[in-house]
């Protein structure tokens, strides 16, 4: 009676026996579906914009006292920027700018983790297929930032003008997404699924026993996502952003477009393709075989990326000097990352009971935040090993 009265209070029809879909409002023009996709993009777009603007950062943190710029003579800031964890000890203007940039990224990541948990809770109120656009949107964020970077590089020669065009395009996308979100809030479809669910949602906090029981059911998803993170963070973008074309100095493709196209665009579009393939897979994770595969993937891709033509380097040899070798590695790396990440999230609904779905998503997102924090130092370690 409580759930029925709650739905009447919010001006919605109570669900009929058998969960008759005819009693539910429709998603007009798929607005909510598209909005979840845009929110998925928006969640990771700020971070991707910072990492993908490689040309701008290499210019901003260059050695301003030298007229000759070489990839084997990069400054500390150029080398360490993508790893994010540099300890600043000087007081130059570059250091101040670097510190402000890193502080901004840290603030964005902190807010991102909180927002991500909230969004998964909201999505859990909707039909299960509404999770797919959000997950694919996260991968699309990298594609959009790479495309914006490539276009801005093609339109402008000056690094500062390129940066203005690039970051302005991101602000425009934020505005569009916020507009779509405001429109979504007004639809009967959104009100039906969210308001009624919030009204009937339990308020008690899970105890340790309940958390452990949920974890036992979905440990494979937590393990897969953890291993994906520990494979990506050490080398992407920390090491990958330092990889240069074997034909460096032979034209605009090698000097200007190789990094944004190969390192960022190809990786991200492969990631999205992997996510789309995963969305078609409905098989339940019924064992540890995929966890083992993900672990083996760590030992394959981390060394492979480090053995590509990343500059500068002092210790490790370059075993994959050719552009086509790096391209193959980055495509398979991205596709497998996207596939495994989506499989981990999408199988949560198969591994826990429907009433535990919201709690399971919150647990998985929280676990990812902890793992990201633990793995965050690995990028700088790998750069130092080069």
Query: Which pTM was predicted?
Result: 0.77
- pLDDT tens sequence across 321-346: 999 999 999 999 999 999 999 888 88
- Top-ranked range on mean pLDDT: pick from 5-14, 163-172, 315-324, 356-365: 315-324
* Domain interval for residue 233: 2-385
Is 50 exceeded by the pLDDT of residue 4? no
Report the pLDDT averaged over residues 262-278. Answer: 92
Please state, in angstroms and rounded to a whole number, the distance separating the CA atoms of residues 260 and 44. Answer: 17
Residue 20 confidence (pLDDT) above 90 = no
pLDDT greater than 60 at residue 88: no
The two structure tokens encoding residue 250: 């032979």
Question: With pLDDT > 70 as the criterion, what percentage of the chain qualifies?
Answer: 74
Residue with tokens 């199988």: 347
Q: Which residues of 12-31 are buried (b: 16+ CB within 10 A; e: fewer)?
A: beebeeeeeeeebeebeeeb
The confidence band for 12, taking pLDDT boundaries of 50, 70 and 90, is: very low
At 350, which CATH number? 1.20.1250
Distance, in Å, from the CA atom of 272 to the CA atom of 143, rounded to the nearest integer, reads 9
Percent of the chain clearing pLDDT 90 (strictly above): 22
User: How confident is the model at residue 295, as a pLDDT?
Assistant: 93
pLDDT in the model for residue 301? 95
Q: How far is CA 24 from the centre of its chain?
A: 33
Domain count, the chain: 1
Is the pLDDT higher at 205 or at 25?
25
Kindly report whether the peptide bond that precedes residue 373 is cis, defined as omega within 30 degrees of 0.
Answer: no
């Amino acid at each position: 009676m409580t759930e029925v009265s709650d739905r009447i209070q919010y001006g919605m029809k109570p669900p009929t026996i058998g969960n008759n879909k005819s009693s539910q409002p429709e998603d007009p023009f798929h607005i909510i579906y598209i909005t979840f996709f845009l929110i998925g993009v928006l969640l990771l777009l700020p971070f991707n914009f910072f990492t993908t603007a490689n040309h701008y950062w290499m210019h901003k943190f260059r050695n301003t006292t030298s007229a000759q710029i070489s990839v084997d003579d990069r400054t500390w800031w150029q080398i360490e920027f993508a790893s994010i964890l540099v300890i600043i000890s000087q007081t130059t203007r570059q250091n101040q700018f670097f510190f402000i940039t890193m502080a901004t990224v840290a603030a964005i990541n902190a807010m991102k983790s909180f927002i991500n948990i909230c969004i998964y809770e909201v999505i859990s109120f909707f039909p299960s297929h509404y999770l797919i656009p959000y997950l694919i949107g996260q991968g699309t964020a990298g594609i959009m930032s790479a495309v914006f970077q490539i276009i801005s590089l093609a339109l402008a020669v000056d690094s500062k003008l390129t940066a203005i065009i690039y970051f302005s395009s991101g602000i425009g996308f934020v505005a569009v997404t916020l507009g779509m979100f405001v429109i979504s809030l007004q639809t009967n479809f959104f009100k039906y699924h969210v308001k009624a669910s919030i009204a009937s949602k339990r308020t008690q906090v899970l105890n340790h026993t309940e958390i452990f029981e949920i974890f036992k059911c979905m440990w494979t998803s937590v393990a897969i996502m953890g291993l994906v993170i520990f494979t990506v963070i050490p080398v992407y973008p920390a090491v990958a952003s330092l990889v240069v074309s074997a034909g460096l100095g032979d034209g605009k493709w090698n000097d200007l477009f190789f990094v944004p196209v190969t390192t960022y665009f190809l990786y991200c579009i492969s990631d999205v393709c992997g996510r789309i393939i995963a969305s078609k897979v409905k098989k339940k994770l019924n064992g540890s075989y995929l966890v083992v595969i993900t672990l083996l993937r760590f030992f394959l891709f981390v060394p492979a990326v480090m053995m590509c033509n990343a500059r500068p380097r002092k210790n490790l040899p370059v075993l994959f000097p050719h552009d086509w070798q790096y391209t193959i590695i980055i495509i398979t790396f991205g596709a497998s990352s996207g596939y495994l990440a989506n499989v981990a999230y999408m199988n949560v609904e198969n591994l826990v009971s429907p009433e535990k779905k919201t709690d399971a998503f919150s647990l998985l997102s929280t676990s990812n935040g902890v793992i990201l924090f633990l793995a965050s130092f690995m990028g700088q370690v790998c750069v130092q090993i080069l």
